[in-house]
Amino acid sequence: MLAYTYVKPGKFELQEKPKPGLKDSRDAIVRVTLGSICTSDLHIKHGSVPRAVPGVTVGHEMVGVVEDVGEDVIGIKPGDRVTVNVETFCGECFFCRRGCVNNCMDPNGGWALGCRIDGGQAEYVRVPYADQGLNRIPDTVSDEQALFVGDILATGFWSVRISEITSEDTILIIGAGPTGICTLLCALLKNPRRIIVCEQSPERIQFLQEHYPDILVTTPEHCEEFVRKNSDHGGADVVLEVAGSENTFRLAWKCARPNAIVTIVALYDKPQILPLPDMYGKNLIFKTGGVDGCNCAEILRLIESGRIDTAPLITHRFSLNEIEKAYRIFENREDGVIKVAIRSV
Ligand SMILES: [Zn+2]
Ligand SMILES: [Zn+2]
């Protein structure tokens, strides 16, 4: 089968590999029907994910049809149309029982697919702990509608969940890339008083204004002042930092009101400075981390009922054979791309 492979830092390549088989009684084999490219794939390509293993098939955003399951898989059967979770988790350890599945104590716990074990920019993928890592897609939900459930939409949902948003709040979301927009969609479910999105790219600002006209939009250079003017207590009640750019961590805490929650969703390329003397007395609450992707069934129900719709994010479609081109367009943000969908069959 064809599998897009991390050869070495700077080099991915479409290679012919054997089709994966079951290795454990809790595994499933999924025939990938649709996949996508995530910014994290680019982080691997650029060598900034030290845990990524050369030779691994990349890709961790995908949906497909279950082809085979191990004998201890109980909730999923061959023929099921499923979303695949970016995270591998056992469901039984100390952290999993508390919903902190990103920290699952299994050796492959957390983000392993397409990083430490073979992922889904391929025709088939082996999914460990299939009862945890796969969720059935409702019949009325298309593959495209479900494509982001296991990764960026799970991230948006989780970041909003931990941010304790109330209907009184002014929310600031920094970054309107794909994960930023997923975060916005999930924040809208909480009906906050207002949502401000800070974004630099004119194309993305246009996308926001076209699809979400009720959202306030600002740019990084005007953000602090804009938030102060458009909030009730001198700053945002909740800040979600999804951009991960050079100055956006600083922007996040600067725009927060005293005692605000600042949730860091972004994955930075470099260490960030936490200047505690400068923020002394502001009494901020920082929340950080990688997604605990254990709400996929609920997210699928929200899609089914029409309350979340990520379909507009898919701006470009390719076949697996064209994946080099898909990467080029996604990586260089050509042609107004937000997300690509890659057909594996
Ligand atoms: Zn991702
Ligand atoms: Zn676990």
Which CATH number belongs to the domain containing residue 15 in this structure? 3.90.180.10
Do 161 and 281 belong together in one domain?
yes
Is 139 within a domain? yes
Confidence class of residue 229 from pLDDT cuts 50, 70 and 90?
very high
SS3 61: coil
On whether both 163 and 140 belong to a single domain, the answer is no
Radius of gyration of the chain (CA): 20
pLDDT on residue 106 = 96
165 by Cβ neighbours in 10 Å (0-12 / 13-18 / 19+) ranks as buried
Number of domains composing the chain: 2
Q: What is the pLDDT of residue 25?
A: 98
Which residues fall within 8 angstroms of residue 305, CB to CB, at 6 or more apart? none
- What is the Å distance from ligand 1's center to 37 Cα? 8
Average pLDDT, integer, range 303-327: 97
Alpha carbon of 180 to ligand 2 centroid (Å): 28
Q: Is residue 259 included in any domain, yes or no? A: yes
Asked if the model's pLDDT at residue 254 lies above 80, the reply is: yes
Among the bound ligands, the one closest to the CA of 290: 1
Ligand that lies nearest to the alpha carbon of residue 61, given by its number in the listed order: 1
Distance 215 CA to ligand 2 centre (A): 38
Residue 302 lies in a domain: no
- Claim to verify: residue 117 and residue 224 sit in the same structural domain: no
Query: Counting ligands in written order, which one lies closest to the CA of residue 267?
Result: 1
Residue 11 Cα to ligand 1 midpoint, Å, equals 18
Report which secondary-structure segment, H or E, holds 187. Answer: helix 178-188
Asked if 279 and 218 sit in the same domain, the reply is: yes
9 & 124 share domain = yes
Give tens-digit pLDDT for 76-100.
999 999 999 999 999 999 999 999 9
User: 186 C-alpha to center of ligand 2: Å?
Assistant: 26
Query: Same structural domain for residues 212 and 315?
Result: no
Distance 291 CA to ligand 2 centre (A): 14
Domain with residue 275: its CATH number is 3.40.50.720
- The pLDDT assigned to 270 comes to 86
Residue 225 pLDDT > 80: yes
Task: Pick the ligand that lies closest to the CA of residue 294.
Answer: 2
- Are both 125 and 21 inside the same structural domain? yes
- Co-location of 135 and 267 in the same domain: no
Give the rounded percent of residues in the chain with a pLDDT score beyond 90. Answer: 96
Q: Are 112 and 43 part of one and the same domain?
A: yes
In a shared domain, residues 144 and 159: no
* Per-residue model confidence as pLDDT tens digits over 278-306: 999 999 999 998 899 999 999 999 999 99
Residue 275 within any structural domain of the chain: yes
Predicted pLDDT of residue 28: 98
| pLDDT, tens digit, 9 for 90 and up, residues 125-178 | 999 999 999 999 999 999 999 999 999 999 999 999 999 999 999 999 999 999
**Same domain, residue pair 90 and 208:** no
Q: Which ligand number lies closest to the CA of residue 58?
A: 1
Give residues whose Cβ lies within 5 Å of ion ligand 2: 89-90, 93, 96, 104
Q: Which domain holds residue 263?
A: 155-288
Size (the chain), residues: 345
Instruction: Tell me what pLDDT residue 48 has.
Output: 85
Q: Are 97 and 138 contained in the same domain?
A: yes
Q: From ligand 2's centre to the CA of 332, what distance in Å?
A: 37
Pseudo-torsion of CA 158, 221, 204, 293, nearest 10°? -10
Please give the mean pLDDT across all residues of the chain.
96
At 307 the three-state DSSP class reads coil
Nearest ligand to the CA of 128 is: 2
Q: Is the pLDDT of residue 14 over 80?
A: yes
- CA of residue 128 relative to chain centroid, distance: 19
Ligand 1 centroid from CA 278, angstroms? 33
Q: 155 CA to middle of ligand 1, Å?
A: 9
Cα(86) to centroid of ligand 1, in Å? Answer: 7
Distance 230 CA to ligand 1 centre (A): 32
Examine residue 294 and state whether it is found in any structural domain, yes or no: no
* 342 Cα–ligand 1 center, Å: 15
**What is the 139 CA–ligand 2 centroid distance (Å)?**
30
For residue 299, tell me if it sits in a domain. no
Kindly give the distance from the C-alpha atom of residue 305 to the centroid of ligand 2, in angstroms, as a whole number.
30
